Amino acid sequence: MPNSDLSGMHIDALKEISNIGMGSALTSLAQLVQQKINMSVPNAGFYPVEKVVSLTGGEEKLVSCVSLRVLGDIQGTIMFVFEEESTYLLVDFLMGNPEGSTNTLDDMGKSAVQEVGNVLTGSFINALSSMTQFKMITTVPVFAFDMMGAVITSIMAANGRIEDNVLVIETELFQDSRKVKGNFFFWVDPDYNNILFKALGMS
């Protein structure tokens, strides 16, 4: 649920950033895997930690997660979460294997999923930069493949993101057939919320 501190206008602006940023990111991914990949209308708002876990459905669900830090004029954390089957499909697409040939995740597979995170984040950041004129860089991605609850809370704790409410921009990603399902999260560090809003013409 969006926090009441955020006006409809703020939420719309965040959704718009996400729309443009992820739109451009998915075009890059589509080129990489040679598959058409769509996205849902993004959600934006302040969510408690528990809600972030439930957004992606189920603490014990096996997921892969790629996370990167965004540094520069705006700082925050980016996280991609893919369900188990989607993870394997992404590996198949990237490796040029027939669909369904991957059913475990080896080191090569892990690198492939990290690379997807890298490509998506790169394009997202570039789109955000050109909208806001902000300079940003990202760190090398980190990776996990385990229970969703364990993965998400670990990233939040590592970032010191322990407030009850975290500014989250979230988008559901899926391939045309809806076989590749994933979620994109961008948590803006608290000190940078206002900078972001200002850059978008709101204070």
Partner 1 sequence: MDQAKLKEVHVGIADLGVVLRPDKLITMGLGSCVGVSLYDHVARVAGLLHLMLPYSTYFKNVDKKPKFADLGIPLLVDEMKKKGARLPCITAKLVGGAQMFSGNDEKLILNIGEKNVAAAREILKSMGIKIIAEEVGGNVGRTIILDSSDGKILIRTLGKKQMEI
Q: Quick one: DSSP state of residue 139?
A: P
Q: Residues 6 or more apart from 104 whose CB is under 8 A from it?
A: none
Tokens 């490796």, located at residue:
95
Closest distance to partner 1 from the beta carbon of 147 (Å): 3
Toward partner 1, which CB reaches closer, 142 or 200?
142
Tokens 């364990």, located at residue:
150
Q: Which two tokens stand for residue 103?
A: 């059913």
Closest distance to partner 1 from the beta carbon of 153 (Å): 5
Toward partner 1, which CB reaches closer, 128 or 156?
156
Name the site residues for partner 1 (rule: CB under 8 A).
49-50, 53, 59-60, 62, 65, 67-69, 114, 139-144, 146-160, 162-164
Toward partner 1, which CB reaches closer, 68 or 199?
68
- Using CA atoms, how far apart are residues 188 and 194, in angstroms rounded to an integer? 10
Toward partner 1, which CB reaches closer, 162 or 202?
162
Toward partner 1, which CB reaches closer, 54 or 132?
54
| Residue (of 125, 129, 15, 118) closest to 67 by Cα position | 118
Closest distance to partner 1 from the beta carbon of 107 (Å): 10
Closest distance to partner 1 from the beta carbon of 154 (Å): 4
Closest distance to partner 1 from the beta carbon of 156 (Å): 7
- Using CA atoms, how far apart are residues 197 and 53, in angstroms rounded to an integer? 26
CA–CA–CA angle 134, 139, 142 (5° rounding): 140
Q: What share of the chain is helix, strand, coil (3-state, %, to 5)?
A: 45, 25, 30
Longest dimension (CA), the chain: 51
Toward partner 1, which CB reaches closer, 30 or 150?
150
Closest distance to partner 1 from the beta carbon of 198 (Å): 23
